[in-house]
Amino acid sequence: MNMRRDVDEITGGKRLRRMRKAEWSRRLVRENLLSASDLIWPVFLMEGDDSAEDIAAMPGVRRLTVDRAVEATRRAAALGIPAIATFPNIPMERRDRTGSHSLDADNLINRATRAIKSAVPEIGIITDAALDPFTDHGHDGVLREGVIVNDESVALITEAAVGQARAGADIIAPSDMMDGRVGAIRDALDEAGYADVAIMSYATKFASAYYGPYREAIGTAGVLQGDKKTYYIDPANTEEALRETEADIAEGADMVMVKPGLPYLDICWRVRETFQVPTFAYQVSGEYAMIEAAAANGWIDGERVMMESLLAFKRAGCDGILTYYALRAAEALQNRGAGGS
Ligand code: PBG
């Protein structure tokens, strides 16, 4: 076909493909790299000894007893993963209206923290301070006459957080979205002598359908009454997400998180650009399940999509990613060198 203008005329002589011609030149101009240091591994805990349970909606992810979690954490540390985040599946008979078992020094989270801290002291331990694993209605706070009451929930979450610090947690991660909880936790930690314990706030946590498989994992899927729209952020809102983040930073958050991850990369970017604080994304259970389901059907190359999805968080400005892929990705990085392909 006869072109009206030749390509050099159209591009002004620019040839962007020049640097893409070989692997060495692609590597040379690569702007973002994923490393094991960017990964935080969420670990599901269960009661018992020396066993693990599959989670149907999260193939490849298992609930672990504390001893198994210690072993797995050892592997994570050896792969260069800096931190893990624990999530407990609490037996139903331990759950009640106010999540009172969250305050028990010997609950599953706290026992796991003590065991992991003494066996693998070089890895950071992040504990989630929300009440949902402990309430019989599956909400993150206290439910009274159909309402999740803010201030009473903050008081309990704060007390649970101090207990987690006492057990040896390095970072408290409040995932409940109650107003004022970051400041209340900061005050309480300082007062109890845990000024060194950091806070990673789930600053922008959206009322998302992507959390489904997680609720199976911690056993809240069948018990959750209603939804969490009165405390998580509306997926339609950006400015509100920024106001939430600003409030959490002002109250003392050391790090902030955006959750879910991939569908909310715009929020990651806006948060990083606006506040310049360490920013993390949580690639949540539903995101993991989607990739795994498509990969299992042979519709996508799961390994490559995993690496590409994690790299996308780096490109969007995240300092790190909470991901169920942490071990697999760290292994892949070790085998192939950083960057993915
Ligand atoms: C609740 C909590 C949620 C997740 C972690 N902590 C959301 C929820 O159950 O409403 C989701 C994590 C995931 O989907 O991977 N405090």
Q: What is the pLDDT of residues 298-321, one digit of tens each?
A: 999 999 999 999 999 999 999 999
Mean pLDDT of 211-219: 95
With beta carbons less than 8 A apart as the criterion, state whether 45 and 62 touch: no
Confidence of residue 340 (pLDDT cuts 50, 70, 90): very low
Give 193's pLDDT tier (boundaries 50, 70, 90): very high
pLDDT of residue 341 exceeding 90, the answer is no
The domain locations on the chain are 33-336
Is 117 labeled as catalytic in the residue annotation?
no
Split at pLDDT 50, 70, 90, the class of 337 is low
Q: How far is the CA of 234 from the centre of ligand 1 (A)?
A: 15
Q: How far is ligand 1, taken at its centre, from the CA of residue 213, in Å?
A: 9
The total of other beta-carbon atoms located within 10 Å of residue 316's CB is: 22
Catalytic residue of the set 117, 228, 259, 314: 259
pLDDT digits (tens, 9 = 90+) for 70-119: 999 999 999 999 999 999 999 999 999 999 999 999 999 999 999 999 99
Q: Are 278 and 255 spatial neighbours (Cβ–Cβ below 8 Å)?
A: yes
Tell how far the Cα of 218 is from the centroid of ligand 1, in angstroms: 9
> Is the predicted pLDDT of residue 6 greater than 70, yes or no?
yes
Q: CA distances (Å), 263 to each of 15, 118, 181, 268, in order?
A: 32, 37, 26, 10
Length of the chain as a residue count: 341
Average pLDDT, the chain: 96
| Residues having CB within 6 Å of any atom of ligand 1 | 128, 130, 132, 140, 175-176, 211, 214-215, 228, 284-285
Measured from the CA of 232, which atom of ligand 1 is nearest? 10
| Topology of the domain covering 33-336 | TIM Barrel (3.20.20)
Q: Ligand 1, from 41, 181, 214, 224: best to mutate by most atoms within 8 Å of Cβ?
A: 214
What pLDDT is recorded for position 339? 45
| pLDDT at site 1 | 72
Q: Is 14 a catalytic residue?
A: no
pLDDT at position 338, please?
45
User: Quick one: pLDDT at residue 2?
Assistant: 82
Stretch 267-289: mean pLDDT: 98
* Separation of CA 272 from chain center: 16
Instruction: Find the 259 Cα to ligand 1 centroid distance in Å.
Output: 9
Q: What is the ipTM of this complex?
A: 0.97
Structure tokens, 235: 């997926």
Q: Please state the residue numbers annotated as binding site for Mg(2+).
A: 244
